Structure formats: C-alpha cells, structure tokens
Amino acid sequence: MAGIRFGTDGWRAIIGWDFTADNVRACARGVATYLQKSGMASRGLVVGYDTRFASEDFAAEVAQVTTAAGIPTFLCDMPAPTPVVSYNIVHLGAGGGVVITASHNPPQWNGFKYKPDYGGSASPEVVEALEGEIAVALKSQVARIPLAQARERGLLTEIDPAPPYMAHLGTLVDIPAIRDSGLSVVVDAMYGAGAGYLPRLLEGGALPLTELHGERNPSFPGMAQPEPVAHNLTALSECVAAQGAHVGIALDGDADRLGIVDEKGQYISTLQVFALLALYFLEVRGQKGPLVKSVTMSSMIYRLGELFDIPVYETPVGFKYIGPVMTERDALAGGEESGGYSFKGHIPERDGILSGLYFLDMMVKTGKSPSELLDHLFSRVGPHYYDRIDVSFASDRRAEIQERVASQRPDTLAGVPVTDRDEVDGTRLHLEGGAWALVRFSGTEPLLRIYSEAESPERVHRILEEVRALVGV
C-alpha cells in the first residue's frame, strides 16, 4: 500500500486488505515512537476496541508492540465505546490512547484511532507527526512481545474502563432524576460497543428501558452500517411506536454519536438534536458560553448565538478541528452533522452516551416530549430541516467529480438565488433566506456527501437533487 493516512478521525480500511495485523503493528510502533519523542511514554497508553470482527485481536497486537517498546499499556478487558476509552486516558493520566474501531463504517471496515493525553481527537499537527512515524515503521520489522510476558514485566494492566467513566457522568447529569422520571425509553445499541451502558446507568428506578441490538454481531444485520441515521433506525422507530415509548435513543458502532427518534417514531435530524441540546444548556440550565459547529452543522446555532448573545465558531468537519477550538474558547458545546456532540466539563470528544443522557434530562426538566421540544426550538429560531445524500463512486472518477464540483456556479437552487460560495471544507453554496448546500468527499470512505438545510423538507429534497445533477453523480 502507498501509505497510511488518517482521515477525519483516524485510519480506516477494509479488514484483510489494507487493515491487517502488519499494518496495525506499524501504527502501534508509530504511536510508541511518537510518545517516546514527545516525552510521554512513561505515562502509558490506554488501548480499547469495539465489537467489530477481530477488534480485540488487533488491540492485542497494539499492546504487544507498545509494551515491547517499554510503554506501560492499559488494555481494556472488554469492548468499550470510544468516549469511554478517551475518558480513561484522562482519568489514568496516560500519555494517549488507541481505539480499534471503524465507528459507523460498514461491517467490512475496521480502524485505528489515536487519542492524545487530553482525550480528544488528534489535532492535524499530531496526525502529521504520527503519519511520519508510521511511515518509518512500515519499512522496518516491528518488535513485539507476548502479552503474558508484558504482564510479568509489569508493562501490561487489564482495566475495566466503565466504572470511572460512569461515575464521571454522574457528576454532569442528574441521573437519579432521569431514573425516577417514569419516562419510557428504547435504546438501539446497533450491535456496538455502547451496548449495556444506558441500561446500567438508568435501570433500577421508575424508568422502563428496552435495549435493541445489544448483542455483539460484527455483520450489523438489518442496517447498512452502524450509523444512527433514519434509514438504519426502522427497528427503533417501530419499537418506540409499538410500545408507546417517550423517546428512542441510538448509538453508533463506537457510541460517540447519537440518534434520536421522537415519541411518534419519527427521526429527529442530528442538526436539530444539537440545536436542541444547545438550547437546553442556554435556556433550561441557564449556562452561557461559546458554541462550536462544523460547516455541516445547522445555521440554527448562529441564530441561538444571536438570541443569547454568545459567540459561535465554525470549523472544518471533524473533532480534530472542533475539539481544539472548544478547549481554546472554553466552549459550552461543540457539534458536527454526524451526530457527534461534546460538552464543557467533559473530554473534548464526541460522546453519544452523555448526549443521550442530556437529551433525557432536557425532557425531564421541561416536561416536554421530543416533538414538543422541536416545536419550541422552531418557535425560537424558525423551522429548519436537513438531509444528506451519500453517493459511492469508483476511485478513478474522483478527479473528474472534483473538477465538476469546482466548476459549478449555479445562480439558483430549487428556485432560490445563490448568494455566496465558500470552500471552508468542501464547496458550500449559501442561498437567500439562510438555506445552504454543501458538497464534500468523506474523510473515511469513498463517498461523495451532499448536504442541505432549508426551511422545509421539500426544499431540502429539491436542493439535494439539483446539486446531485450538477456534479454528475
């Protein structure tokens, strides 16, 4: 292979093709060298993994390499969500962490995420340094030792990452109030690493909770991929409607993303969910502070900034950009279109479990259903709807598609004048009245993503189809 390049968050590849034991070992050696050169090796490394095929075996390969390099390694003793692993980095004071996960990708994928000592996504500077060290490791024999030998040398410690993480969540959210609220909740764990977390946190009171797809199944049957978007959540929607539940909560494959289904079984978009959570902090909890959004996140965030007189900062897609701005600006919350949200007082990392708890707390504190909360949001900022089209393409068409995207200068979309264009991340077209469309390549898969937000679902659909026709995919 030409080399290992990190995308939006880590390196991902097809299992058995590019995602092999040899390449994972090279990544681990690169991490070890990076920690040694940065003076953090003695602080140790946390290693976690998700429920994908052989993830625990790839995690063991990482531990064999890092302990051979003399780095104390804390290996999770069970599949763990990315935010849980990330929190344990901070909790243990480790120099960094590795998570074997492909997050929301289809089942044939796996991945390698690196998290620095602050528990968030690796910054572009850290990624560049890691890629350089990995490139060197790919050209050499990577040393490793058996885990039993590492354990005997005191270099390997198995950890249960759940208790410290859940204890920390208890300092952020009034979990007993949610537990005793009587809300009926359905959780879709999507066969992922987040299975069991919300039941453990919320069961035992007056809250009936049903968990779907809580068992491990690396083929993710019944869904295109473990991504909490509408077309993958039909089982959750049907269960909520059939049970008359108050809300449905979905977690992606490594539980760093959140999806919400309202009491009618209707999907609430990720843009609407983040705007609701921002409004919850500002209006219900009475907190103030900046908000951070990616270019694909809702323009409702700008409207909330105006209403509550707080700054809003925009970044390219990815928490490797959002996280640093949150830290620098002491932001209240940060969010991206994928359903990944982060909050002040926690790690600068997406966390679907905490996001779900905050959404439940909002319902408890306001006494409103999800659809009523959405109506209230629209009463403050106006109606906003969103959708996205993902189009697969052959690799030899990438240059052609890029050229077509760059050359398009439409005067109108869906009958609305185009007022501006930018290329913060991809190509974004601003429409009169606040609607927008954006075209960008996925950072982790061979996909072209087309996004739009407008005042009605019908307008969104028209914009998406017109943009798709313009770029010829």
Mean pLDDT by 10 residues, the chain (473 residues): 83 96 98 98 98 98 98 98 98 98 96 97 94 97 97 98 98 97 98 98 94 98 94 97 98 98 96 97 97 96 97 94 94 96 96 98 98 98 93 86 88 95 94 94 83 95 95 84
Q: Give the sheet arrangement for strand 291-294, strand by strand.
A: 312-315, 291-294, 333-336, 340-343
Residues 49, 72 within the same domain: yes
**Whether 203 and 323 share a structural domain:** yes
Give the model's pLDDT for residue 249: 98
Two tokens at 167? Answer: 């204890």
Tokens representing 457 are 């679902």
The number of domains in the chain is 3
Pair of tokens at residue 263: 């009491």
- Quick: pLDDT tens for 40-52: 999 999 999 999 9
User: Of 363, 381, 399, which marks where a domain is finished?
Assistant: 381
The CATH number linked to 456 is 3.30.310.50
- Residue type at 462? R
pLDDT at 398: 85
Same structural domain, 436 and 333:
no
Farthest CA pair distance, the chain: 70
Q: What is the pLDDT at residue 408?
A: 86
Same domain, yes or no, for 287 and 414? no
Q: Give the torsion sign (CA, 166, 269, 103, 186).
A: positive
Rounded to two decimals, the pTM is 0.94
Alpha carbons 443 and 319: distance in angstroms, whole number: 12
Q: Containing domain of residue 227, as a range?
A: 173-381
Say if residue 150 is in the same domain as residue 215.
Answer: no
Q: What is the pLDDT of residues 37-87, one digit of tens each?
A: 999 999 999 999 999 999 999 999 999 999 999 999 999 999 999 999 999
Indicate if 207 and 100 belong to the same structural domain. no
The per-residue DSSP string of 346-357 comes to S-SS--HHHHHH
139 and 48 in one domain? yes
Question: What pLDDT was estimated at residue 1?
Answer: 56
197: domain CATH number is 3.40.120.10
168 domain residue, yes or no: no
Give me the count of residues in the chain. 473
Residue 167 belongs to some domain of the structure: no
pLDDT, position 2 = 65
Same domain, 25 and 149: yes
Query: Which pLDDT value is given to residue 280?
Result: 98
**Residues 363 and 422 both lie in one domain:** no
DSSP letter, residue 122: P
Q: Are residues 304 and 403 in the same domain?
A: no
State the Cα–Cα distance between residues 179 and 360, nearest whole angstrom: 10
